[in-house]
Structures are given as C-alpha cells and as structure tokens.
Structure 1
Amino acid sequence: MPPLTPTGGTTRRRFLQIGTALAGSAALAACSSGPAAPAVGTPRPGGTLRAAFAGSGATETLDPHTQNLYAELARAKMLYDKLAEYGSDLSVVPRLAERFEPSADQTRWRVPLRAARFHDGRPVRAADVLASYARILGPTPGMRGRSGLATLDLPNCRAIDDRTVEFALKAPYAEFPNATAALGTAIVPEGATDFDRAPVGSGPFRFESFEPGRRFRVVRNPEYWEGAPLLDAVELLVSNDEAARVNALLGRQVEYAHDLSPTTAAGYADRVVVTRLPRSSMQSLAMKVDRPPFDRPEVRQAMYAMVDREEMVRTLLAGSGTVGNDLYGKGFRYYADDIPQRTYDPDRARALVRAAGLEGVRIPLDTAAAGSGMVEAASVLRDQAARVGLTLDVVTGNASTYYSDVRDEGVLAVYRSGALPIESHISQRLLSTSATNFTQWRRPAFDALYAQAQATGDDTARTGLYRQMQQQLHDDGGFLVWGFSDFLVGSDPRVGGIDPTAPANTLDWARFDRVWLA
C-alpha cells in the first residue's frame, strides 16, 4: 500500500506516528462544538495546497489518455485541457472548444478553438487536436477515450485552419460533444511522447516533479487561457488507506483529503470541513453475463431480488446517498425514472437460487480497497446472499490494479463509477465495442438502438430510445446498481473555493485552479 509522502521536513516515520496516534479519535465527535466552516472572505493568491488521494502505486502514469483512478484524473486536470468538460448537471461545457457546430445530418461537426497555449509557449492548434485523437484511436492499449471517439472517420477529419477543426463521423452522432468531454480525451501537443518525465499541456498548472505512487507537484501557469490560478503550487500525495489520508489532514500534513467514508466524515466534522459532492458515485455489482453462473438470466434475477438496497444505503452510506434501481445515472438526462423500483424479495431470490441449482455452490466476489466502502460492501452483500442460500466468497484484491484486474477476469465484482452522462456510460461500458465493458454485456439489438438514438435529432424521440435501452438493462443487464452515493471530501478550514455542487468527474470537481488558502 503506497504511503502518503509528506513534505516540508516531516519524515515518513513521523507521519505514520501521527496516523497511528489519531486512528481512534473518532470519539472526539461526542465533544463536537459543531461542524467546521470553510474559509470565508476575499480569495487571495499564494501558497501550496497539499492534497491526498488514493493512488495506484508504482504503475501510476501521467499519460492523460490512459487515466483511470481519481488521482490520475486530478493530475490530468491540472496539466491538460479537453475540448469540453461535463458541467455539474452533466451537460457539456465547452473548454478548448469555443462551440460545437453540427451539420444537419449530425455527421460533421465544426469546432472553433480558443486562443490557448501549451506550457512551452506553442499555441494549441487544430493539428494538435487531431494528433491527440489519432493517438487515442491508435494501436496503443488502454486508451480510455477510444470507445467514445470510435465514431470518428479520422482520415476525413481536417484542420480548416490553425484554430478550426472539422470532424467527420462514420455515422450520425447527435451527442458528439460528450465524446470530447469523456475521460482520457485530453489535448496534447502533436508528437508528444514523454508524459511521465516532461509532460506538456495547456492546463492551469505546469509540471514540476512526479514520483509514481508517492508525490506529484505542479506550479501555477501564469498564462492560462482562463486566468492564472491563485495557488502557487499543488502537491498531490497518495495512499489507499483512508485513515492515513484523514489523519494527514488532521495532522496538517495536507489541506485536502479526497474520498472519505460517511463514518469518517461524521466522526471528524468538528475538526475538518466536509464537502458533500452530490450524485457522484454509482454503487453496484458487476456480473459477467458471458460466463457461468451469470450467463443465466434466472441467476441475475436472483441477484436483483436478494439485495436489500435499503439496508445497503443505511449501513454503508449512512445517509449520504440514495437507493438505486439497477440503472446508471439517477437524476441525469434520459434517466428512466418511470421504470418500477426493484424491491427486496428474499423468497423469490431463494426460489431462483434453488431452481438454478446454486445452493452450496461457491461464487467468488472480487473487491478491494480501491475506494471507500468497497470492502465493507462486499461483506454486507455476502451476508445478504447467505440469507437466500447463495455463497459468495469475498476475494480482496490489489487496490492499485483492481479495475484492470476485474475488467476481464472473474465473474462478480464490487464496482463503482463516478458521474458521466448516461450516453457516455452506455458508449464506454455497454456496447459490444466498448473498451471498458466490465459486465461483458454485448447485444447487437442494444447496439442498434444506441446507433438509432445517435442518428435521431429530435430530443423526444431520442429520449424514447434511451428508455428502451434502459428497460433492456433493467430486465437483463449485468450491473446491479444498489445505490448512488455522494462523494465526501475533507479539507482544512483554511481552504476556500471548493465547489459543493460538482459531482466527481465533472469540471468543477478537484478544480484546484479555483481553490485558495486563507
């Protein structure tokens, strides 16, 4: 487990002593004088913010096209820009793109670019955009944005001039701007290769140093196209141990701790500022529908019926979330909230388990400390399964490589996801061609509905097609979505500028160019 690496003269030994001394101090909440309040007053320049995130150890990279974990996304956001980002309501917000201009048939999109510059002084050109997308769509494995950009007819895309790109698409794509806001679609200089030692982007901070699994440091970019950050520098430190992150915050080794559990947040609310980021994370199980036993619809139906969603939300989210209905994107555009809520039905689950001959069969359930509450969720699910005669063996894997490990291996895994538009969730995870298809859901009829939706310019008609897709997923899909949790971030009371309305993965989440220190 990679430790946090403190700076400013504090030794690793002393840091661990601080963590040990404070590990049991949740009892202090009983003496709380009320919740801590964030900094108020006029934002002021200067200072270094130290932020603690969960990491992925020695395998970490600064390549913005292969990012997966929140720490990697936060680093990429500091160094790079995309053509667009998701706003707090999951609508598209143009960034390097000034706007998006579709043709009448949705097969060509013209995009004028802002007057932005890379950290080495070169202007961001249409050629850089095309080269970035060509790299994402190229042969290198693990390119996160590949599925969303797969509709590009790259040979026929062109730079009209240095500040205007025209994208040609293989098929109509009514929501093409979503693809440019997807994870892993950052714009890098044409010919860029050295991402870990000398990364160059157009983002609000410039690279200074990087130690994989330990420390990352950037400094203010005074020429940022949207205005220079207030902070002089940001240091991002990593640990997969939530207690280490919060204890570093309590010991003033960091000023920002990402991804706190509800229990931790409640226990220290008198000493740190807790910011609740709404609708940030889908909490679920991923069942591989292409292999036993979850290749049988009745087994998936047994799983749907055996999960007590109310208990899961009450026990694991402690009031910081809401019950799910086995569909992604509750509250987002296109969400099919008219589909009846799945209810806890242990008698039906027990009957289906018996009929499937699964009594006494041991099924591995993968989990890891890759996010707060994931190991605990596996334990609760194991106990709920036992009530209906199903035996789940919890297998705790490597937190640093968990998502890549369970993407293709295993049969059942604890899974969570940050906020994305429903269209992006489908294109990235549920099409036959999706690169991150954790459930191995591949249905040509489903793919055809998605293609029809993207060729449909009328919003009402497109909404109806998304409703059909979600009904298929609700009836027969591989994601068992038991809840949606708010994301909890802890910060020192001296920190101002954290946006409380921004779900994870959106523009204003972990946006340190807007943060300041009192």
Structure 2
Amino acid sequence: MTKYGLRPRRLAAVAVAVATAIGVAGCGGDPGTGSESTSKIRALLNAQPATLDPIAGARSAQVVWATMIEPLVSTDTDLEPARTGLVTDWKRTSDTKWTFTLRPGVKFSNGEAADAAAVANTLTLTRDAQTSLLKTYFTNVASIEAPDATTVEVTTKRPQYDIPNLLTTVYLVPPKYYKDKGPAGFSAAPVGTGPYVFEALKPGREISVKPNPGYWGQKPGNNGVSFTWATEASQRLALLQSKSVDVAFDLPPAQADQAKDAGLKVVSTESALKITAVLESTKPPFDNATLREAAALAINRDEIVKGIFNGKAVADGGLLNVKPGTQPKSKVDADPAKAKQLVGSSSPAVNLTYPAAQYTNMKEVAQAVGASLEQAGFKVKYLPVDYGTLVKQVVGRQIDGMYMLGAVPNVAVPDFFASGYLKSASITGNCPDPAIDKKIGEALEQKDGAAAQPLYDELDNTAVVQKHCFVPLYKQIYNYGLGSGVDGIVYGPLNSVDFTKATR
C-alpha cells in the first residue's frame, strides 16, 4: 500500500460487440504475439476528453494530455511541490517575488526551446487568456519576467504563499506552435516536453501517443498508450474481461467486485475528487438563504455512500479539506424533518443539472439528491448534460438551481477551492461575498499553509455551514482494473496517471 491507500460478466460476445462499437478491438493486437503493437498500453477511459488543451481544459482530461505535456513543477508523494521536474529550484526573494530555476536544455518535441521565455508565455496565457480555466488563481500575479534562459521571476501584487503549488497544475506549451494553431488546433495535435508524443487521433474513437525519443528524463518502458472510452461501466468491465484493453479506469464498486471475482487485479485509492452539489445563490430559488439551508439539510451524504457505493466512498462534509484522509472542522448533518419545515408549502422548483457520464454512478447520485429535495417539498427537474456542456454553462453563468460537480483539487492546497469556488470572481461564482473575498486574500498573505489553515477553516464554515452555497457529498474511492500480466500503471489522487513504467 502507498501513503494514500492503493489496493487493489459479461459474455464474450457482448465484449466483442462493444469493442467494435467504440473502435478498440484490434487496436493493440493479441496479447502474447510478440509484435511491437502488443507493448502499447491500451487504456479505456469513462468519457472522451473534451479538449487536450491544458490552458482551457478541465483536469479530467489530463490523464491523456499529461503523457505529452508536463507541469512546470512536479509533486512528491505528499502532493507537495518537488524540485524534480522542469523547474528544479525556487526561492522567495521577497514577500511578493518568487524566482524559479529551470532545467537547462529541454526542448519541446517539435524542436522549440522549453526555456524561461516559454514558461513566461504559458503563465501569461494562464493568467490572461479568455479561454483559461485557471485564470482566477493568477489574478494576483503582477508580472512574469524571463531575465535569462533558465530563470523566471514571478511578482505578485500582494504576498501569496502558494505560487510553487500553483505551478504544479500549469502545463508547459510551446509558444509559437500554440499561437499558430490556437486552442482548437493545439488540442487536435498537442506538443509538449513529456515522455510521449502525439501519434494519432481518430475522432470519436481513439487517441494514441508514442514514446518521445528526445525526452529529457527516463524513457517509457513501453511503445506508447492508446486511449479509448466507454461511458457504461459494464462495457468497460466487459472489454477488460475480453482482453480488448489492458486497463479500465473508473470502475464503480459493483464492477470492481466483479473484476476481482473474475481474477483480475483491481487497484483502489481514495481520490481527492470531491463530488459536490453546488447551489446557485444569485438566482431563484437559491437566492433565498432559507431554501439553501433546507436543501443542505435534506441531503444525507452517509446514505448516498452506503446505498449507492456500498460504503466504498468517503462521506465528506467540507470543501477546503483537499488532501485524502482529511475532514473539515465543521459540517452540516442531514435533518430531513427540519428541511421540510423550512420549505413549507411553497413547493419551489429546482433545476438539477448533472454530467451523467462523467463520474462514477453520477446519475444515481443525482437521482438520490433529487429525491431528497422532493421529500423536503421541492419540485425537481433533472437536466443531464455532457461534461463539456456543464463546464461551459458553469463558466458562462448559465445555470440556476443546483448542479453536481466533481471538484478536483489540481493543487493540494485549500486555496485551490477557496479561489476556484468561493471567490466572487471564481470558476463557479455562485456564492459572491466581499467578506469571503477579503478572507481568502488574508489567507494567501500568510507565510505558509500552516499559518493560513485557521482562516481556511473559517472560510469553509462560512460557505458550507453558514451560507449553504455548497453541499459537499463524498470523496471517491477510485478503482481501475488491470488485465492479466499488466503492471506498472500508477494512478495518483489528483487524477494523474503515470504510464511510463507500464508493461503487458
């Protein structure tokens, strides 16, 4: 077991039919034939990535793009910044200035220099680009300079302790290629400094990568990875059992148990992915604080974990407790009777939007949440959408009522959710409050994370327990199944996967 707890029937005709339908049958050859194609790892995802552009893309797709594109700062086993990646050192030279040292001589796979100018360009895109999903985290950055090829200086408007942490989720893109291609063109054929390079895209069917011969680090021990996808968990299990794929990600508890019963290896870990119900407090009906409280009291996260996941998830009532194994200082406990009393006879209508195919058992979770609201007296309209549409609706402020979101802390610090979800100008923007904004700024100005933690505890209590803008539900126990003889695939709790040591 690692620090974060890694642990490990369909008929064949069904598996073959599904494999043909999603285009994976034959993509890797028959195991054991000795051909070169058999050493390409065949990975099966739960959904097609919406984009492979790390500037604009939600981190659910980084399983694919991170094979080709690397973060500026790597992380260690405690999910803390490490000096082992593209950035090899950093110093806080004043309260508002950070100096980063880059690994010399690294090139993108297209030959562009992965130097300080490239880093400055990527950070500027992350801060300023209209399409940037992470821009809210960099609003405090005043300037980004590259005085020489291996030095980057980041100056902030106010002190900010977590700049090195933030750089663990900024993926380096080549300046000229990204500018020439634009976000859509880059997504169609990504270029990075990673251990793999883009090989092919079969729209709607498959994405494949192959080893990068010029990679600066340890070369992959396989001939690449091919990614396909199947939204139904039963399909993913069937394909794994039929040996059509080598690894099937995101197996719900029932399918994970079936895989184990069939003699397959299943690896499980408590993910940092936090499934959360988000209440839009700027629009009816949840601009009414009493109805937000009623909704929070109506939902029983413990029953969801027990009834839908058979106890194989971690009930979680906080938003800013980001690392696996941590719990909030305070939370809201379910009280259906009080919820019904607060709603009274008003029968408020609520839209419940959720990405049906994105997260394990999400449809069942949304239905359970909706049923709890209905029992309290709400009239619920269910709105299933694809994940890409949900992200656009959230960022575009097009949603009212409640929506289900998998909050993934790309960076294992509380500010990732504080700035990303609690600030008035944030990804969700659903709980605007100048007092919250001020306290987030105060937390960032502390000397380090330990000094900031009491402020984050207060923020979590304000947003979740007092204002009821969020109803955190659970952290996912993430399961993936490995085919016979497949080894070396490592899933990290921040939704990252290392394929470089994978064999089959």
TM bracket, shorter-chain basis = 0.7 to 0.9
The TM-score, its normalising length taken from structure 2, stands at 0.85
Aligned partners of 1:255, 1:16: CA distance in 2, in Å?
15
Aligned partners of 1:15, 1:125: CA distance in 2, in Å?
48
1:237 CA drift (Å):
0.9
> Aligned ranges for residues 377-388 of structure 1 at < 5 Å?
377-388=365-376
| Alignment match, 2:157 | 170
1:13 CA drift (Å):
10
Aligned partners of 2:15, 2:312: CA distance in 1, in Å?
34
In the alignment, which of 14, 17, 29 is matched to residue 15 of structure 1? 17
Aligned partners of 2:460, 2:189: CA distance in 1, in Å?
44
In the alignment, which of 99, 104, 114 is matched to residue 110 of structure 1? 99
Structure 2 counterpart of 1:47, one-letter code: S
Whether contact under 8 Å (1:363, 1:392) holds in the other structure is: yes
Structure 2 counterpart of 1:50, one-letter code: R
Whether contact under 8 Å (2:280, 2:402) holds in the other structure is: yes
| Alignment match, 2:29 | none
> Aligned ranges for residues 47-58 of structure 1 at < 5 Å?
47-56=39-48
Structure 1 counterpart of 2:199, one-letter code: E
1:390 CA drift (Å):
2.5
1:330 CA drift (Å):
5.4
| Alignment match, 1:394 | 382
Determine if the alignment matches structure 1 residue 409 to structure 2 residue 411. no
Structure 2 counterpart of 1:298, one-letter code: T
Aligned partners of 1:234, 1:288: CA distance in 2, in Å?
40
Secondary structure (helix, strand or coil) at the match of 2:261 reads coil
Change (3 A) 1:303 1:196: closer
Aligned partners of 1:256, 1:104: CA distance in 2, in Å?
47
| Alignment match, 2:177 | 192
Change (3 A) 1:386 1:223: same
The TM-score, its normalising length taken from structure 1, stands at 0.83
1:48 CA drift (Å):
0.3
Whether contact under 8 Å (1:83, 1:97) holds in the other structure is: yes
Structure 2 counterpart of 1:174, one-letter code: Y
1:200 CA drift (Å):
2.0
Gaps of 5+ in 1: 1-10, 21-44
Whether contact under 8 Å (2:318, 2:327) holds in the other structure is: no
Determine if the alignment matches structure 1 residue 480 to structure 2 residue 480. no
Secondary structure (helix, strand or coil) at the match of 2:403 reads strand
Whether contact under 8 Å (1:431, 1:442) holds in the other structure is: yes
Secondary structure (helix, strand or coil) at the match of 1:383 reads helix
Structure 1 counterpart of 2:215, one-letter code: Y
Aligned partners of 2:369, 2:319: CA distance in 1, in Å?
18
| Alignment match, 2:314 | 322
Determine if the alignment matches structure 1 residue 513 to structure 2 residue 500. yes
Aligned partners of 1:485, 1:224: CA distance in 2, in Å?
33
In the alignment, which of 273, 291, 298 is matched to residue 290 of structure 2? 298
| Alignment match, 1:4 | none
1:230 CA drift (Å):
0.5
Structure 2 counterpart of 1:80, one-letter code: I
What's the RMSD between the two structures over aligned residues? 2.7
Aligned partners of 1:495, 1:132: CA distance in 2, in Å?
36
Gaps of 5+ in 2: 1-12, 23-36
Aligned partners of 1:331, 1:61: CA distance in 2, in Å?
26
Structure 2 counterpart of 1:397, one-letter code: V
Output one character per residue of 1:256-307: Cα deviation in whole Å (capped at 9) or x when no partner: 1111111111122133321112133212211101111111211111112111
Aligned partners of 1:376, 1:88: CA distance in 2, in Å?
33
Structure 1 counterpart of 2:79, one-letter code: L
Secondary structure (helix, strand or coil) at the match of 1:514 reads coil
Whether contact under 8 Å (2:88, 2:101) holds in the other structure is: yes
Aligned partners of 1:402, 1:491: CA distance in 2, in Å?
31
Whether contact under 8 Å (2:320, 2:418) holds in the other structure is: no
Whether contact under 8 Å (2:14, 2:238) holds in the other structure is: no
Structure 1 counterpart of 2:378, one-letter code: L
Structure 2 counterpart of 1:15, one-letter code: A
Change (3 A) 1:325 1:284: same
1:118 CA drift (Å):
1.5
In the alignment, which of 85, 96, 116 is matched to residue 86 of structure 2? 96
Whether contact under 8 Å (1:131, 1:191) holds in the other structure is: no
Aligned partners of 2:442, 2:15: CA distance in 1, in Å?
59
Determine if the alignment matches structure 1 residue 68 to structure 2 residue 58. yes
Structure with greater contact order relative to length (CA < 8 Å, sep ≥ 6): 1
Identity %: 23
| Alignment match, 2:272 | 280
| Alignment match, 2:34 | none
Aligned partners of 2:300, 2:90: CA distance in 1, in Å?
44
Secondary structure (helix, strand or coil) at the match of 1:384 reads helix
Determine if the alignment matches structure 1 residue 152 to structure 2 residue 149. no
Aligned partners of 2:67, 2:312: CA distance in 1, in Å?
28
Structure 2 counterpart of 1:153, one-letter code: A
Change (3 A) 1:317 1:151: same
Aligned partners of 1:480, 1:207: CA distance in 2, in Å?
39
Structure 2 counterpart of 1:75, one-letter code: V
Change (3 A) 1:211 1:338: same
| Alignment match, 1:210 | 201
Determine if the alignment matches structure 1 residue 245 to structure 2 residue 236. yes
Aligned partners of 2:100, 2:363: CA distance in 1, in Å?
44
| Alignment match, 1:26 | none
| Alignment match, 1:179 | 166
Whether contact under 8 Å (2:272, 2:409) holds in the other structure is: yes
Whether contact under 8 Å (1:127, 1:159) holds in the other structure is: yes
Determine if the alignment matches structure 1 residue 129 to structure 2 residue 119. yes
Aligned residues between the structures:
464
Aligned partners of 2:176, 2:352: CA distance in 1, in Å?
43
Aligned partners of 1:279, 1:17: CA distance in 2, in Å?
28
Whether contact under 8 Å (2:317, 2:327) holds in the other structure is: no
1:227 CA drift (Å):
0.7
Structure 1 counterpart of 2:162, one-letter code: E
Aligned partners of 1:406, 1:180: CA distance in 2, in Å?
24
Aligned partners of 2:419, 2:177: CA distance in 1, in Å?
27
| Alignment match, 2:257 | 266
